[in-house]
Amino acid sequence: MSEEKRKSLRKDGIRIEALTVPPLSNNVYIVYEDGSDSALIVDVAEGSKQILKRCRELSVRPALIVNTHGHSDHTIEDQALRELTGAKIAIHELDAYRLATEDEASFELGMEKVPIEADIQLVSGQEIPLGRSSKFTVMHTPGHTEGSICLYQKEAGILFSGDTLFARGYGRVDGSGSDPDAIVLSLKQLLELPPQTEVFPGHGEFTKIENEQWLKEITEA
């Protein structure tokens, strides 16, 4: 795959660089505050080199890698990026074991997986500081996996949703650790966010909560 897509956005002083990288057209994000050189990386996928290159161009350094969940397609180059930059790796406590275990993605894609350990195990409601004045809040949104999270920035109205919410859909809930009942409750939580919240998913196009009207139907059923 030679796809290389890139988008730069700025919202209320928060900068988001989105890259789409292999193995499964994964969206990975470099997030930083205006004037700060310390970046949060949301998922790495097979993008460690592109992330590093882009960070150098932007004069920021990856300080923390947050995984939206533990599937190998999202985490496979966490260790490579940690080694290159010294960034810490964070993941929800319930998905932490996945960093050291094979899964559907690693089997299907024939990935060679080196077991690693997270530096930080996240819990719901935990705050992740960004730059001098911003912070993201960890929302535990199980369903796709037991430890899937979304990262929410209330003031700027930004949500990184991993595989919990896509434009016009959500991640599969038939894998190991999936829970079809839990995803409904998680999507319900997301539906309660302000309608204008911008959503940056783990795959596919960006969206807004208000554009995902199907959420109402699925959560009312």
Q: With CB under 5 A, what is the number of residues at the site for Zn ion? A: 3
Closer of 131 and 177 to Zn ion (Cβ): 177
Beta bridge partners of 200: 160
- The Cα 62–Cα 84 span in angstroms is 10
Residue from 43, 95, 103, 163 that binds Zn ion (CB under 5 A)?
163
Closer of 71 and 92 to Zn ion (Cβ): 71
* Minimum distance of Zn ion from residue 105's CB (angstroms): 7
Greatest extent of the chain over all pairs of C-alpha atoms, in Å: 48
* Minimum distance of Zn ion from residue 164's CB (angstroms): 9
Candidates 205, 166, 172, 210; CA nearest to 191 is 210
Piece in contact with Zn ion (CB under 5 A), picked from 6-14, 50-58, 82-90, 195-203 = 195-203
Contacts of 104 (CB under 8 A, 6+ apart): 71, 175, 176
Candidates 10, 21, 83; CA nearest to 50 is 21
* Minimum distance of Zn ion from residue 202's CB (angstroms): 5
* Minimum distance of Zn ion from residue 3's CB (angstroms): 15
Residue 146 in the binding site for Zn ion (CB under 5 A) = no
Using omega within 30 degrees of 0 as the cis cutoff, is the peptide bond preceding 23 cis?
yes
Q: In the range 65-104, which residues lie near Zn ion by CB under 5 A?
A: 71
- Reported residue count of the chain is 221
Interface pattern 39-68 for Zn ion (x via CB under 5 A): ------------------------------
Candidates 15, 26, 90; CA nearest to 59 is 15
Q: In the range 201-220, which residues lie near Zn ion by CB under 5 A?
A: 202
Piece in contact with Zn ion (CB under 5 A), picked from 35-43, 86-94, 162-170, 207-215 = 162-170
Q: From the CB of residue 114, how many other CB atoms can be counted at a distance below 10 Å?
A: 11
Closer of 60 and 91 to Zn ion (Cβ): 91
Q: Which spans of this chain sit near Zn ion (rule: CB under 5 A)?
A: 71, 163, 202
